[in-house]
Structure 1
Amino acid sequence: MKASKIFIKWIIISLVLQLCLYFYLDKYYLSSGDNVEITEGMSIYKKNEVKPNIIVPQNAKNIALSYDCSYTAYFDNGVIKVVDTSTGKDRKLTFGEGVQCISYKWVPDSNRMIIAEKIKAGENRNIRFFSYDAESQLKEEIKDYNTQRTDSIPAGISENEVSMVMSTLTNVMYAKVTYANGLSTIYRIDANETMTKLNTVVKRIGKIEVASRDDQLAYEDTINSRVRTNTSCRFININGNLRFSLLGTDTDNNIYVGNKTGKVNKIYYGKLAEPQRTWKVVNLDYLYDTQNLQVMGDGKIYFIDKVSSRVKNLRDGKYSTYDGSFIGIYDDKIASISNSKIVLKSIN
């Protein structure tokens, strides 16, 4: 009994001491005499707001903007010009003597581009690839990291076309080189910048696309109107339908195809590693020309109505208008050129 009284006594003393300590901390130690106001913190990551200030030459061709619209590029008298979209000032970009610029491609989610150049050395002509960073204004030739050898693609006297697609997560690029006879060859440049020539089923090749996460390739067989791949599935076959048009990809590794060539009223999408019978379908309210469809990284699908100068979101049916001639969609903005000036309008 005596022990229990002592135990209770010490509990009371402990509680009194704790209350005194809390009172001291609240009234004196933690108080500065001023009211403490809690405000909502602002993110240090602020989206770049671009206000275009560019006069584009009337003879400019192949106009394209970087992913966040910070920089604008175009062909001017056979060479590529890169300018700051907000200031209109030229970025430093030089080319060697006797070089013919064939094409360029902005790398997704960066202000860097890949340039394809046709270089003449004596009687030989070769296509080489260069990386250019618009921020640092540094241009470097793409070389094999292991051998430091410059890989090039043989090219004839006739004109060549080069189209490029990239998987930024795996640092893999595919380049389709088309020759004067209409035949094409596809080359793969991996993360070590090693170039490999691919064996394709056909040489009449249309659009090419690459999956974002596993760099699997899809390409149009224009002879048989099929979409072929470099995977074990070999070509797209959904419910016995083999005739498809290749539309694009998203950042979730999905490939998008139209249910026929020319104009489509259904769009299928899914991953090449999954059974194609499980691919999802988007039913369209109209026959849309595949040349005017654009698939975005977030899975949005837009129809570019150049006659009415508007863009339609085929997912929700909403329209957004633009001024002048359509350039592209970047960072949820429509880029166009009106009265020789770049215009950016947010999508509704």
Structure 2
Amino acid sequence: MKKIKMIYKWIIISITLQTIILVFLNYFYLPFRGRVKATIYEHTNMVSNDWSMKIPDGAGTPCVSNDGRYAAYLYDGKLMVMDAVKKKEIAAITAEEGELTYYRWLPDRRMLIYASCSYVKKHSTVTISTYDVMTGDIRHYPDISRLPLYSKAVGIELSPITNIVYVKIKTGDERALIYKFNIMDDCELVANTELGAVIRETNYSDKLIYQKGNYMIVVKDGSNKKEYVLEFPGKMALLGIDSEDKVYAAELNQDGKAVYVYYGEADTSDVSTWSKIYLNKAVYPERIIISRGGVIYMNMPEESRVMAIDVGREYKYTGELVEITDDYIVTRKKDQLMLKLINTDIGL
């Protein structure tokens, strides 16, 4: 009998110790690791030719995968995924409940991340999901529930390296909440801010960079919960983050137009070592696009051209600019979606 009691005692002790270790890993160690060691797998099979495809009138803003092969757009309540080269439908994704409100491609693979919202009584629920084009698998993150009625996701930032996702949710005409999913899919509220706040996420460390309505740029470090303001002298607009975690910001003049572009690492509030580029033409910050390779593009829609201002190259287009990357430019003209390959080393 004593031996049996001793065995039970050690079983209980073993289970208790394992539980404590797992709780520590799940809630304390893994969620707050600031940096991770990871291997990045890049697709090398970029499309080899320009293409155009027909999309329905009334289709939502299209977006194209990182390799230029697949396009996605919202139409008739469905997220349509197309093979743009073969002009073939791959999938028509619907929300299990409610409606789809936001979608984008992951920056390094053939995978979509999208948001849907549903309404229950006096509250809203937002669901974030991913769709893998290669396998057809759909994965759902835990619901973000009990939000104010008619709340919906209007932005998603993610790092495929850290697997951390930030979701911007519109809760009213002027307000938004920012939620975070860590690598264990635990969800937490990290900010209550203005609807117009611009959010970006670093790739290699858990940092949320966001621009407040007063033109201040704030860094929220997820590894230690610290928050600091980048010490720029004037009004600033957050532009983007490249693949090497350089943050890009524009200094604004009295008219709210960008006159300088600063870029550097946001490890501290000090920006004295950041590089600075003068813009020959002042433009609204919404017209400046930062590629993953760190190319600074300036869109001039009235002239149907884009300037790569740091390499002195010009890219002309027809129709409306949808997006531009290091490898291609996507435009839309009436019912035609067009992709044209570019090379930022040689221009057109």
Number of the residue aligned with 2:215 = 225
Aligned residues: 294
Larger % of strand: which? 2
- What secondary structure, in the 3-state scheme, does the structure 2 residue paired with 1:259 have? strand
Paired residues for 1:1-348 under 5 Å = 46-49=45-48, 51-96=50-95, 98-121=97-120, 124-142=123-141, 150-158=142-150, 160-199=152-191, 202-222=193-213, 224-231=214-221, 232=226, 234-238=228-232, 241-260=233-252, 262-274=256-268, 275-347=270-342, 348=347
Contact preservation (8 Å) 1:68, 1:331:
no
Rounded Cα–Cα distance in structure 2 between residues aligned with 1:289 and 1:298: 22
Q: Which has the higher contact order (CA 8 A, sep 6+)?
A: 2
2:50/2:341 contact within 8 Å kept: no
Computing the radius of gyration from Cα coordinates, the structure with the larger value is 1
Spell out, residue by residue over 1:239-288, the C-alpha distance to the aligned partner (whole angstroms, 9 max, x if none).
xx142100001111111111127311111111111431111111111212
- Mapped contact 1:170–1:191 kept (Cα < 8 A): yes
Q: CA RMSD in A?
A: 2.2
Q: Name the CA shift for 1:82/1:227 in 2 (closer, same or farther; >3 Å).
A: same
Q: Is the 8 A contact 1:323 1:343 kept in 2?
A: no
Letter in 2 for 1:155: L
Aligned to 2:3: none
Does the aligned pair in 2 maintain the 1:305–1:311 contact within 8 Å?
yes
In the TM superposition, what is the alpha-carbon distance from 1:301 to its structure 2 partner? 0.4
Q: Does the C-alpha gap of structure 1 residues 330 and 171 become closer, same or farther in structure 2, counting only changes over 3 Å?
A: same
Deviation, structure 1 residue 156: 3.9
Check the 8 A contact 2:59/2:75 in 1, yes or no: yes
Q: Deviations over 1:148-202 (max 9, x none)?
A: xx332333443634201112221111111112231111111122222111045x4
Q: For the residues of structure 1 that align with 2:96 and 2:200, how far apart are their CA atoms?
A: 33
In 2, Cα distance between the equivalents of 1:83 and 1:170?
A: 28
1:83·1:91 contact (CA, 8 Å) conserved in 2? Answer: yes
Instruction: Give the letter aligned to residue 257 of structure 1.
Output: A
- How far did 1:62 drift? 1.7
Does 88-97 or 276-285 show the bigger shift?
88-97
Partners in 1 of 2:216 and 2:103 — Cα distance?
27
Inter-partner Cα distance in structure 2 for 1:124 and 1:225 = 32
Structure 1's 127 and 46: CA in aligned 2 closer, same or farther, altered over 3 A?
closer
**What is the identity, as a one-letter code, of the residue corresponding to 2:102?**
S
Q: Residue by residue, what CA displacement relative to the aligned partner does 1:207-251 show, whole Å, maximum 9, x if unpaired?
A: 1011121131111111x221112145611213xx14210000111
Partner SS state of residue 155, structure 1? strand
Q: 1:267 and 1:114 mapped to 2: Cα distance?
A: 30
Could you give the per-residue CA deviations for residues 274-319 of structure 1, whole angstroms, max 9, x where no partner exists? 4311111111112121011100111100011111111101103321
Query: What does residue 32 of structure 1 align with?
Result: none
Inter-CA distance 328–213: structure 2 relative to 1 (3 Å threshold): same
Q: CA deviation at 1:84?
A: 0.8
Please, what TM-score do these two structures have when normalized by structure 1? 0.78
Structure 2 Cα separation of the partners of residues 122 and 228 of structure 1:
35
| Aligned residue number for residue 36 of structure 2 | none
Once the two structures are TM-superposed, the CA of residue 135 in structure 1 deviates from its matched residue by 2.0
How far did residue 204 of structure 1 move? 4.9
| Long gaps (5+) in structure 1 | 1-43, 143-149
1:335 offset after TM fit, Å? Answer: 0.6
Q: Distance in 1 between matches of 2:286 and 2:338?
A: 22
Between the aligned partners of 1:119 and 1:204, the Cα distance in structure 2 is 20
With normalisation by structure 2, the TM-score equals 0.78
- 8 Å CA contact 1:236, 1:242 repeated in 2: no
CA distance in 1 between partners of 2:97 and 2:202 (Å): 36
> What secondary structure is seen at the aligned counterpart in 2 of 1:291?
helix
